[in-house]
């Protein structure tokens, strides 16, 4: 049986995952591409064609899906449909529910998932999904939901992962977010190891994280490295004998 291949086309990051077992992928690659940049389309389509070839070389027909930037750009989505025969057009709610499934499969105690992406932010609980068209690449003031009775919130996405890796922990506090925001202003040289696009959008992503933490008065939160990519893999694997 061929492996499951996924291409997740996010607003600022595009990921290829080819795996028989989610914990032990054959291939995992990521390209940071800002789809709000007018020059991004040619770069993205070249990457998409290369990744389709990698998947097909392993006998897999990739399932591809996109995020907020593609919900706003039907022309680019149409071009990607010509590359990938299996394409899922996702609403913000569907995107959030897939991310929830991936995080929840790894940690059953999670009761809220907050996915700060490049173009949108999804806030997901057992019963509801909020999708707000603000992300790390284009921030804004939103009326963030107040989630009562949430005890184990988990943030996902590039901003949260960058924060966790730099702070060296997967359980963090609001003080960690504040310290990172301060460091970006006072000591930008500390972040030269990051991809230029990640450095560019990180301040906005952290500001969104700070606003959501403040709105809900959460003093601590977790970070997961799972998200939409893994949710798509789990959905595509339904009915197969696979290991998570």
> pLDDT tens across 113-143, in order?
999 999 999 999 999 999 999 999 998 889 9
Residue 241 lies in a domain: no
**Does the residue 187 lie in any domain?**
yes
Position 1 scores a pLDDT of: 81
CB atoms within 10 A of CB 57: 10
pLDDT score, position 239: 62
Q: What is the pLDDT of residue 140?
A: 87
45 token code pair: 């389509």
Domain match, 69 and 180 both: no
**Across-strand partners of 172?**
221
231-239 mean pLDDT? 91
The domain in which residue 113 lies consists of: 93-223
Domain for residue 242, yes or no? no
Kindly report the CATH number assigned to the domain that includes residue 127. Answer: 3.30.420.150
With cut-offs at 50, 70 and 90, classify the pLDDT of residue 243: low
Average pLDDT over residues 59-73: 96
Q: Are residues 138 and 201 in the same domain?
A: yes
Compute how many other C-beta atoms are within 10 angstroms of the C-beta atom of residue 32.
Answer: 17
What confidence score (pLDDT) does residue 152 get? Answer: 97
Position 3 scores a pLDDT of 95
Do 178 and 212 belong together in one domain?
A: yes
pLDDT for residue 186: 96
Query: Tokens 């709105």 belong to which residue?
Result: 215
At 122, list the tokens.
Answer: 């999804």
Q: pLDDT grade, residue 39 (50/70/90)?
A: very high
Tell me: do 33 and 119 sit in the same domain. no
Position 147 confidence tier, pLDDT thresholds 50, 70, 90: very high
* pLDDT at residue 241 greater than cutoff 60: no
The reply to whether 17 and 85 lie within a common domain is yes
Our count of domains for the chain comes to 2
Q: How far is CA 95 from CA 29, 40, 74, in A?
A: 20, 22, 17
Residue 243, in any domain of the structure: no
Give the tens place of pLDDT for each residue, 150-200.
999 999 999 999 999 999 999 999 999 999 999 999 999 999 999 999 999
Task: Please spell the DSSP secondary structure of the chain, one letter per residue.
Answer: -PPEEEEEE-SSEEEEEEESBTTS-SEEEEEE--TTSTTHHHHHHHHHHHHHHHHHHTT---EEEE-HHHHS-HHHHHHHHHH-SEEE---HHHHHHHHHHHHHHH-TT--EEEEE-SS-EEEE-SS-EEEES-BTTB-----PPP-TT---EEEESHHHHHHHHHHT-SEEEHHHHHHHHHHHHH-GGGGTTS-HHHHHHHHHHHHHHHHHHHHHT-SEEEE-S--HHHHHHHHHTTTS--B-
Q: Is the pLDDT of residue 242 over 60?
A: no
* 244 in any annotated domain: no
Shared domain for 46 and 103, answered yes or no, is no
Q: How far is CA 228 from CA 51, 64, 149, 185, 218, in A?
A: 18, 11, 25, 30, 24
| β-bridge partners, 131 | 122
Same domain, 106 and 201: yes
User: How many Å apart are CA 162 and CA 109, to the nearest integer?
Assistant: 23
Mean pLDDT, the chain, whole residue set: 95
For residues 108 and 150, membership in a common domain is answered with yes
pLDDT category of residue 240 using cuts at 50, 70 and 90: low
Q: What's the rounded Cα separation, in Å, for the pair 67 and 14?
A: 10
CATH of the domain at 17: 3.30.420.40
- Does 148 lie in the same domain as 104? yes
């Amino acid at each position: 049986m061929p492996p499951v291949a996924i291409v997740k086309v996010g607003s600022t990051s595009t990921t290829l995952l080819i795996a028989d077992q989610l914990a032990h992928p054959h291939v995992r690659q990521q390209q940071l591409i800002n789809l709000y940049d007018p020059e991004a389309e040619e770069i993205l389509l070249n990457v998409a064609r290369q990744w389709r070839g990698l998947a097909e070389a392993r006998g897999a027909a990739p399932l591809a899906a996109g995020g907020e930037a593609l919900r706003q750009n039907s022309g680019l989505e149409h071009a990607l449909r010509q590359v990938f025969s299996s394409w899922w057009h996702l609403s913000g709610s569907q995107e959030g529910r897939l991310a929830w499934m991936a995080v929840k499969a790894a940690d059953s105690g999670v009761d809220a998932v907050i996915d700060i992406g490049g173009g949108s932010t999804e806030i997901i609980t057992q019963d509801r999904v909020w999708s707000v068209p603000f992300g790390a690449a284009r921030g804004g003031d939103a009326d963030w939901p107040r989630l009562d009775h949430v005890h184990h919130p988990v943030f996902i996405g590039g901003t949260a992962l960058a924060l966790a890796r730099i702070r060296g922990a997967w359980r963090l506090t609001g003080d960690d977010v504040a310290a990172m925001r301060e460091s970006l202003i006072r000591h930008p040289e500390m972040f030269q190891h990051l991809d230029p696009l990640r450095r560019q959008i990180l301040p906005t992503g952290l500001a969104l994280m700070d606003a959501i933490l403040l709105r809900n008065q959460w003093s601590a939160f977790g970070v997961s490295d799972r998200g939409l990519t893994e949710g798509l893999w789990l959905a595509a694997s339904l009915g197969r004998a696979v290991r998570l």
